[in-house]
């Protein structure tokens, strides 16, 4: 019956397309993000460009079949699909204060952040830098907001000469540390970041400390794939904790382990890139019975959004769209697939920071009715709905958000 959920070996596959926002939220002006629409603006920016052997422009035919172009506010997105949507579709508004990765993922998992994480547009206080340098036994360089590629270009040679880590931030609540892999080996880099994480508490409790290893020679530095994120632990239980406590498998793919500080997971795998993330997700879908598979595909944000590269962003979207049928084919009869995002990062806007945007809601499965969910008031509705589906009842007080399962369940 509609709205009734039976426990069993049900699975939820939750895929976060990191930064794939679909239009500015009403409070975008507070964040300096008026005009942001990551998906639509990327499509507009690549009209007429070749994205593959036969593609011109950006047409996401498989996401379109699920209902992407039916979502409120997506009327301007060019579509070639005229059939009925195959999934429930809609959009989520962010209830939390902020527009960063940690805030977005925590809210997806049922934890709304009422107070924004601290940010440092003028760099970190000298007192913090002094404690950090004393803890690691080295000086530091930079201490300013910057792009990751720009900062290593500017300070990389001095870092190689002095061995001093490069400390920088962004509009997000992050303490980023760039170090050359031949100057400071990875194990020490990660220890340095752990020490920074231990210092950044209380009023300076940034959402993430990020190791940003790089390699190469002056004039040709490149960031490597050995990034590590050291997040704050969630302030209370999330969907992951609730499911793990109930004895269900909870697997994180990509940055999920970092974002949740390892909390609530029974298994975790890091990934090399988006396509490796899809492959790792498919492997888990073959191996894991029941529970949650929670995947973050970060390339949209890290490689293209922050680098103002709409063509690269479009290529990444087209690659995921091409792989989507594999995920759908791997679903079992009692699986649900949820595709969403954690914020925007419009590569066509001035600056290189995240944008305050709605995120897509695409829910697919044998038990799902293809209806329009409209605009849901919080990302947290995802966590509440997944818990409802896997545990047989909507969580009462343990998670924020309201389950949409009664609306979509056949």
Residues 340 and 269 in one domain: yes
Residues 105 and 251 in one domain: yes
Q: Are 349 and 99 in contact (CB under 8 A)?
A: no
Residues 246 and 227 in one domain: no
Provide mean pLDDT across the span 364-371. 96
Q: Count how many Cα atoms sit within 13 Å of the Cα of residue 200 in the half-sphere of its side chain.
A: 28
Residues 81 and 190 in one domain: no
pLDDT tens column, 224-246: 989 888 989 998 999 999 999 99
CATH code (residue 183): 3.30.70.1250
Examine the pLDDT at 79 and tell me if it is beyond 80.
yes
pLDDT tens column, 135-191: 999 999 999 999 888 999 999 999 999 999 999 998 889 999 999 999 999 999 999
CA 283 to CA 327: how far, in whole Å?
10
Residue 117 lies in a domain: no
Residues 105 and 239 in one domain: yes
What is the domain range of residue 166? Answer: 126-231
Coil, helix or strand at residue 15 = strand
Question: Given 184, 200, 231, which residue is the final one in a domain?
Answer: 231
Residues 189 and 106 in one domain: no
Residue 121 lies in a domain: no
CA 16 to CA 400: how far, in whole Å?
19
CATH code (residue 85): 3.40.720.10
Residue 5 lies in a domain: no
Examine the pLDDT at 356 and tell me if it is beyond 50.
yes
Residue 401 lies in a domain: yes
Continuous H helices in 163-245: 186-199, 239-245
């Amino acid at each position: 019956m509609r709205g009734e959920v039976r426990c069993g070996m049900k699975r939820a596959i939750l895929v976060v397309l990191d930064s794939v926002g679909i239009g500015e939220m009403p409070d975008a002006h507070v964040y300096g993000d008026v005009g942001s629409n990551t998906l639509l603006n990327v499509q507009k920016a690549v009209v007429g460009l070749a994205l593959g052997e036969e593609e011109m422009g950006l047409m996401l035919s498989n996401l379109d079949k699920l209902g992407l172009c039916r979502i409120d506010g997506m009327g301007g997105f060019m579509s070639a699909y005229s059939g009925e949507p195959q999934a429930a579709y809609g959009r989520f508004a962010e209830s939390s204060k902020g527009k960063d990765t940690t805030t977005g993922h925590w809210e997806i998992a049922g934890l709304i952040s009422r107070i924004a994480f601290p940010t440092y547009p003028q760099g970190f206080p000298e007192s913090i830098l002094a404690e950090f340098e004393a803890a690691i036994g080295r000086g530091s360089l930079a201490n300013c907001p910057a792009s990751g590629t720009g900062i290593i270009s500017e300070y990389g040679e001095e870092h190689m000469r002095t061995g001093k880590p490069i400390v920088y931030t962004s509009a997000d609540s992050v303490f980023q540390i760039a170090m050359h892999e031949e100057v400071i080996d990875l194990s020490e880099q990660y220890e340095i970041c752990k020490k920074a994480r231990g210092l950044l508490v209380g009023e300076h409790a940034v959402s993430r400390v990020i190791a940003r290893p790089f390699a190469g020679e002056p004039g040709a530095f490149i960031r490597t794939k050995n990034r590590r994120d050291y997040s704050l632990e969630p302030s209370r239980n999330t969907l992951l904790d609730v499911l793990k406590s109930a004895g269900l498998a909870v697997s994180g793919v990509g940055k999920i382990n970092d974002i949740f500080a390892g909390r609530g997971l029974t298994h975790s795998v890091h990934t090399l890139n988006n396509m490796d993330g899809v492959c790792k997700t498919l492997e888990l879908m073959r191996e894991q019975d029941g529970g949650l598979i929670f995947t973050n595909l970060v390339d949209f944000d890290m490689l293209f959004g922050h680098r103002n590269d709409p063509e690269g962003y479009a290529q990444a979207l087209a690659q995921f769209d091409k792989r989507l049928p594999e995920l759908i084919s791997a679903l079992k009869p009692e699986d649900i697939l949820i595709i969403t995002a954690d914020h925007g990062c419009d590569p066509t806007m001035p600056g290189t920071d995240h944008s305050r945007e709605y995120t897509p809601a695409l829910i697919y499965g044998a038990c799902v009715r293809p209806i329009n969910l409209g605009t849901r008031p919080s990302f947290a509705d995802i966590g509440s709905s997944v818990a409802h589906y896997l545990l047989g009842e909507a969580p009462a007080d343990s998670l924020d958000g309201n389950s949409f399962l009664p609306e979509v369940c056949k």
